[in-house]
């Protein structure tokens, strides 16, 4: 059962030494209560206090850091089953796989692609996260050479090393052992040797079993051996098995019913025989590290976009800066379309305006990120706001006419906007998809 | 050791019947019973359930359809019955969704022409049908009446009722025993409100499919995804006004920037992947009818959905 901040505070040393990184013991206690800090950060805790606090203050799913440097990524520390309950915090790391049987040219090309490829959407740069190198050759030497090839590109991407053979992993770690690679995978057969390697290099480790029981056993062994940073490979035979086990693990972890399942989940999409679908399912169903062969352009963009959607904080509407935006090269006679600063509304309208090929101005007013419908209902979109925005952004200097097109859903305000601004108001369509037709037919009149 | 997930669900999703076979007084070769789930999607044995279903969308006036599909399908789109037949036998859709886009023409008034269109599609395919009527309140009543009549006995799914326009479609559904799609703008409360309105004028719960409105991936899909998850959650927790199956149709997908502006060689690939990712995420959130427009989406989607279903022996966590 979770403890309240004050209960936790009573067990802390109350020295306010700041060594945990927090200014006071009380603020540290508040973080612990929210599952946002690790009890180990306090150097002065008695063993008794540790045992009381340990299990109930640790985040229900451990945060695991993979890689070092600017491209490292963190997964885990999730607290909910549904994104609408709060939010999902740490986006799925999507890692491209190379095999050690590929030529060095091929390996270098994939590494460079992950290093360079960026999709910019809604003001964010979306990227793939790392390189997985799989030991398909069966030779430790070949595997190590492939890892060396990746590292020589100096892309500084988080590595995932995949091999059943600890000798091969050992040889590969010579080239990337200090970069916090993720090792795949400890099984009941090799868990002791894997732990020794992970411990020696301070790496996170994947444990693999097709039963929850097996995963729990492996987790217990690894933590006892001093390897705390673990990731769970559920070894699914189908997407259905993945959904079932991944959901079970998320549920059992966040309710703290089975704390030993409180680790991020791994999925090898390349092994499923339907990679694109596995990537999609992995993103929405709690996959934290997804290994896939390099995705073709369509799947690559769809995957990055879906991940951005799912990991967007549902508590915060994404907002645009209010102001005047141009579509094409508008002139003094071009139409002006007013809408709200909810980014989705903005980008949707902008997209349709671009395809309509009518140069125009967009007047974006500040509704604090609310959509048209909600802003009208909540009174955030008013004639005063429109009047003030026209003045503030100097719309009068941009066009010689005085006509303003407003969204269909804002039609109840049309009369009041005309009175407050002196501009003639034209009510546009409700659906942005019809704006092209509207402009071609109505504006020309 | 067995690990039990304990969600505390109290009641299942209601069922809706789509299509009528000979035994039920129709001419469809198959009918589907969707809904009935008693936990989160894909967690229980679904070997006996066909859901989720893939609906392929066609229209009777391709001028109002995406140029990507017109280019891909060629002359096929000029004959809605041939197009529907191809969707059935070649693309292997589970359902056909017919959009009467001819009603979008300016000052459209030829209501009488719609009956034969519906009849031609009904005879071109023996799959259950979804029919989308007009977007014009002035002719709604006549259009739905015509559709309902032409499909009498076939247990159609008629679309789309919204808070501002649901009476004429409900009247047609009630008169000819069809089901209807109830759409609300990505909001669980509005979805519930519309279902209550429909209930008040006599539409039974087992004749309603919820459309929470699906924004395209990258353009609001996250809101739709969460609306679907919330509707499913509330339904399983006992809210009977939300305990209906859901339909997902990301109709804007083919006109978003990413797809529209993809190079000529990549447009189809982008369209297919965008539809595939959207449908799979929606299915995971609880949608049981997945609508697609690109013929290339059906095969990978069908394969993925088959893989997502639990086999009888794996239902329950091991």
Catalogue all structural domains in chain B, each as residue range(s) with its CATH number: 15-314 (3.20.20.20)
Confidence of residue A2 (pLDDT cuts 50, 70, 90): low
Is there a single domain that holds both residue A332 and residue A303? no
The reply to whether A317 falls in a domain is: no
DSSP lists the bridge partners of residue A176 as none
Is there a single domain that holds both residue A30 and residue A79? no
Residues of A in contact with B233 (CB under 8 A): 82
Q: Which of B128, B145, B50, B116 is nearest to B84 (CA)?
A: B128
Mean pLDDT confidence for B210-214: 94
**Domain end (from A310, A339, A361):** A310
Is there a single domain that holds both residue A48 and residue A69? no
Please give the pLDDT value at position B316: 45
Mean pLDDT for all residues in chain B: 92
Residue A216 distance to chain B (closest CA, Å): 11
**Domain end (from A270, A289, A310):** A310
Asked if A276 lies within 8 A of B277 by C-beta distance, the reply is: yes
Q: A221-225, A365-369, B192-196: which has the minimum mean pLDDT?
A: A365-369
The reply to whether A228 falls in a domain is: yes
Q: Which of A50-59, A420-429, B39-48 has the highest mean pLDDT?
A: A420-429
- Domain count across chain A: 3
Residues of B in contact with A252 (CB under 8 A): 3, 5
Confidence of residue B314 (pLDDT cuts 50, 70, 90): low
Is there a single domain that holds both residue A281 and residue A346? no
Q: What residues contact A146, with CB distance under 8 A and at least 6 apart?
A: A98, A99, A100, A102, A104, A107, A133, A172
Asked if B304 lies within 8 A of A277 by C-beta distance, the reply is: yes
Is there a single domain that holds both residue A227 and residue A282? yes
Is there a single domain that holds both residue A243 and residue A299? yes
- Reported for A411-419, long-range contacts at CB under 8 A and 24+ positions apart, including other chains, are A412/A376, A413/A376, A413/A381, A413/A382, A413/A383, A413/A386, A416/A382, A416/A383, A417/A383, A417/A386, A417/A387, A419/A383
Is there a single domain that holds both residue A362 and residue A405? yes
Q: A75-79, A82-86, A366-370: which has the minimum mean pLDDT?
A: A366-370
Q: A326-330, B136-140, B170-174, B291-295: which has the minimum mean pLDDT?
A: B136-140
Please give the pLDDT value at position A351: 83
Rg from Cα positions in chain B:
19
Please give the pLDDT value at position B172: 95
The reply to whether A355 falls in a domain is: yes
Judge contact between B243 and B209, C-beta under 8 A: no
Number of Cβ within 10 Å of residue B286's Cβ equals 27
Digit-coded pLDDT (tens) for A150-196: 999 999 999 999 999 999 999 999 999 899 999 999 999 999 999 99
Helices (H) and strands (E) in chain A, counts: 17, 17
pLDDT > 70 in chain A, percent: 97
Asked if B276 lies within 8 A of A276 by C-beta distance, the reply is: yes
Is there a single domain that holds both residue A144 and residue A209? yes
The reply to whether A399 falls in a domain is: yes
Please give the pLDDT value at position B318: 41
SS3 label, residue A123: coil
Distance, in Å, from the CA atom of B293 to the CA atom of B279, rounded to the nearest integer, reads: 12
Confidence of residue B135 (pLDDT cuts 50, 70, 90): confident
DSSP classification of residue A24: S
The reply to whether A315 falls in a domain is: no
pLDDT above 50: residue B315: no
Is there a single domain that holds both residue A333 and residue A270? no
DSSP classification of residue A319: B
Judge contact between B267 and B259, C-beta under 8 A: yes
Digit-coded pLDDT (tens) for A112-121: 999 999 998 8
Mean pLDDT confidence for B242-251: 95
* Residue ranges making up the domain that contains A40: 5-57
Interface A–B counts its CB contacts (< 8 A) at 155
Distance, in Å, from the CA atom of B70 to the CA atom of B76, rounded to the nearest integer, reads: 8
DSSP A25-78: HHHHHHHHHTT-S-GGG-TT--HHHHHHHHHHHS-SS--EEES-STT-EEE---
Is there a single domain that holds both residue A126 and residue A225? yes
In CATH, what number is assigned to the domain containing residue A373?
Answer: 3.40.50.11600
SS3 label, residue A424: strand
- Reported for B33-37, long-range contacts at CB under 8 A and 24+ positions apart, including other chains, are B34/B209, B34/B245, B34/B288, B34/B289, B35/B243, B35/B244, B35/B245, B35/B288, B36/B12, B37/B12, B37/B13, B37/B286
Residues of B in contact with A370 (CB under 8 A): none
By C-alpha distance, the chain B residue nearest A239 is B308
Asked if A306 lies within 8 A of B220 by C-beta distance, the reply is: no
Please give the pLDDT value at position B255: 84
pLDDT above 70: residue B312: no
In CATH, what number is assigned to the domain containing residue A47?
Answer: 1.10.15.40
Please give the pLDDT value at position A1: 42
In CATH, what number is assigned to the domain containing residue A287?
Answer: 3.20.20.20
pTM metric for this prediction:
0.86
pLDDT above 70: residue A253: yes
Residue B313 distance to chain A (closest CA, Å): 11
Mean pLDDT confidence for A264-273: 95
Is there a single domain that holds both residue A105 and residue A234? yes
Mean pLDDT confidence for A329-342: 95
pLDDT > 70 in chain B, percent: 96
Please give the pLDDT value at position B219: 83
The reply to whether A316 falls in a domain is: no
- Tokens for B304, please give them: 């993925």
Confidence of residue A47 (pLDDT cuts 50, 70, 90): confident
Mean pLDDT confidence for B74-96: 97
Residue B270 distance to chain A (closest CA, Å): 4
Is there a single domain that holds both residue A234 and residue A182? yes
Please give the pLDDT value at position A354: 86
**Domain end (from A310, A336, A369):** A310
The reply to whether A213 falls in a domain is: yes
């Amino acid at each position: 059962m979770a403890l309240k901040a004050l209960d936790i505070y009573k067990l802390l040393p109350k020295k306010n030494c700041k060594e945990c990184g927090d200014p006071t013991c009380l603020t540290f206690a508040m973080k612990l209560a929210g599952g946002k800090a690790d009890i180990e950060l306090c150097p002065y805790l008695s063993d008794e206090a540790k045992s009381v606090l340990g299990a109930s203050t640790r985040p229900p799913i451990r945060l695991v850091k993979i890689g070092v440097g600017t491209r490292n990524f963190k997964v885990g520390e999730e607290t909910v089953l549904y994104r609408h309950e709060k939010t999902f915090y740490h986006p799925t790391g999507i890692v491209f796989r190379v095999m050690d049987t590929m030529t060095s040219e091929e390996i270098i090309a994939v590494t460079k692609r992950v290093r360079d490829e960026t999709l910019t959407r809604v003001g964010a740069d979306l990227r793939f996260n790392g390189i997985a190198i799989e030991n398909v050759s069966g030779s430790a030497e070949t595997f190590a050479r492939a890892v060396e090839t990746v590292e020589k590109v100096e892309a500084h991407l988080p590595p995932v090393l995949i091999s059943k053979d600890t000798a091969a992993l050992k040889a590969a770690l010579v080239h990337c052992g200090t970069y916090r690679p993720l090792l795949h995978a400890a099984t009941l057969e090799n868990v002791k040797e894997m732990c020794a390697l992970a411990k020696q290099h301070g790496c996170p480790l994947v444990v693999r079993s097709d039963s929850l029981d097996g995963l729990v056993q492996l987790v217990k062994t690894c933590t006892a051996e001093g390897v705390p940073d673990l990731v769970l490979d559920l070894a699914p035979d189908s997407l259905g098995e993945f959904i079932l086990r991944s959901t079970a693990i998320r549920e059992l972890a966040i309710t703290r019913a089975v704390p030993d399942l409180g680790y991020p989940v791994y999925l090898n999409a390349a092994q499923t025989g339907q990679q694109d679908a596995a990537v999609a399912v992995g993103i929405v169903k709690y996959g934290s590290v997804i290994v896939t062969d390099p995705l073709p352009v369509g799947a690559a963009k769809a995957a990055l976009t879906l991940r951005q959607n799912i990991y967007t904080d549902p508590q915060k509407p994404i907002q645009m800066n209010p102001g005047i935006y141009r579509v094409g090269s508008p002139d003094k006679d071009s139409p002006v379309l007013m809408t709200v600063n909810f980014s989705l509304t903005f980008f949707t309208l902008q997209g349709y305006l671009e395809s309509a090929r009518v140069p125009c101005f967009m007047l974006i007013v500040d509704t604090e990120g609310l959509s048209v419908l909600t802003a009208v209902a909540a009174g955030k979109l008013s004639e005063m706001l429109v009047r003030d925005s026209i003045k503030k952004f100097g719309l009068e200097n941009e066009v010689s006419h005085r006509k303003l097109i407003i969204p269909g859903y804002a039609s109840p305000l049309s009369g009041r906007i005309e009175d407050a601004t002196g501009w003639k108001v034209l009510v546009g369509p409700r659906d942005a998809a019809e704006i092209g037709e509207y402009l071609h037919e109505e504006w020309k009149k | 050791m067995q690990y039990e997930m304990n969600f505390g669900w109290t009641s299942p999703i209601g069922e809706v019947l789509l299509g009528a076979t000979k035994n039920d007084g129709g001419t469809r070769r198959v009918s589907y019973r969707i809904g009935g789930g008693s936990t989160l999607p894909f967690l229980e044995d679904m070997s006996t359930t066909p859901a989720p279903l893939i609906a392929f969308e066609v229209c009777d006036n391709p001028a109002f359809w995406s140029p990507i599909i017109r280019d891909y399908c060629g002359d096929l789109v000029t004959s809605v019955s041939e197009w529907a037949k191809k969707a059935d036998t070649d693309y292997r859709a589970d359902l056909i969704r017919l959009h009467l886009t001819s009603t979008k023409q300016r000052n459209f008034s030829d209501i009488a022409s719609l009956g034969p269109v519906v009849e031609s599609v009904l005879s071109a395919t023996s799959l259950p049908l979804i029919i989308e009527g007009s977007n014009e309140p002035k002719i709604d009543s006549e259009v739905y009446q015509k559709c309902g009549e032409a499909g009498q006995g076939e247990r159609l799914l008629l679309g789309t009722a919204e808070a501002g326009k649901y009476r004429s479609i409900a009247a047609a559904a009630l008169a000819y025993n069809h089901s209807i799609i109830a759409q609300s703008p990505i909001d669980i409360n509005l979805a519930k409100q519309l279902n209550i309105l429909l209930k008040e004028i006599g539409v039974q719960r087992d004749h309603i499919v919820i459309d929470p409105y699906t924004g395209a991936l990258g353009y609001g899909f996250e809101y739709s995804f969460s609306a679907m998850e919330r509707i499913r959650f509330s339904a399983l927790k006992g809210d009977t006004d939300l305990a209906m199956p859901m339909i997902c149709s990301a109709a804007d997908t083919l006109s978003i920037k990413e797809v529209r502006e993809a190079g000529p060689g990549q447009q189809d690939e982008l369209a297919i992947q965008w539809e595939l990712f959207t449908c799979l995420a929606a299915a995971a959130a609880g949608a049981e009818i997945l609508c697609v427009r690109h013929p290339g989406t059906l095969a990978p989607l069908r394969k993925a959905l088959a893989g997502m279903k639990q086999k009888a022996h794996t239902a329950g966590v091991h």
